[in-house]
Amino acid sequence: MIVEPLAAPADGVLPEPLLTELTALYAANWEFFTLSGDFPDPHGIRPEQVAAPIVEELANPNTEVLLGRTEADGRLAGIAITLAHHPDPADPDPWIGLLLIDARVHRSGYGRALAGAVEERFLAAGRTAIRLAVLDNNPQGLAFWTTLGYEVLGHREDRQHGRPCTVMRKKL
């Protein structure tokens, strides 16, 4: 997998071809977005609904958006959004805020590859562990992260929407 950081667009607008790819990636994951409630209609995700939160993430200097592309044809297979420092100053670890793989290629190793690339980036930056939160209503997500060696730390509501989550951590 080819992993590349997405730079914040100077004009605050994602390039149309990239936005088309991202919208298709998000739309393919309608089942996840049905669970998360992030979109009013998970079956009708629109480009502007995808662009706004990504541009907002890119404006945060502690956030990195990584695109995962297939080596064979450069097609967008996934996206990872990471946070170098959690808003809670007592939390020393970086976080994976989102790791989303195109549902059409689930179980092809892309999720594992993108998660590994995120871990390697944080390890290279001198970080010793990484955290994430999995929605409690997402047992497939919990199984995925557990398989990758993440351990449950506890349960709490997410900071943005108040949804029940399982907080997980992995030592790097």
Which pair of structure tokens corresponds to residue 100? 């989303």
pLDDT tens profile 49-72: 999 999 999 999 999 999 999 999
| Tens-place pLDDT, residues 72-129 | 999 999 999 999 988 788 889 999 999 999 999 998 999 999 999 999 999 999 999 9
In the chain, what are the domains? 2-171 (3.40.630.30)
Neighbouring C-beta atoms of residue 17, cutoff 10 Å? 8
- Residue 67's region, left for phi above 0, alpha for psi from -120 to 50, else beta, is beta
pLDDT score recorded for residue 170? 98
Structure confidence at residue 87 (pLDDT): 79
Three-state DSSP state, 69: strand
Q: What is the pTM of this model?
A: 0.94
Task: Return the axis-axis angle of helices 47-58 and 16-28, rounded to nearest 10°.
Answer: 110
Please give the structure tokens belonging to residue 43.
């079956």
At residue 149 the predicted structure's pLDDT band, cuts being 50, 70 and 90, is very high
Exposed e or buried b per residue across 87-121, where buried means at least 16 C-beta atoms within 10 angstroms of its C-beta: eeeeeebbbbbbbbbbeeeeeeebbebbbebbbeb
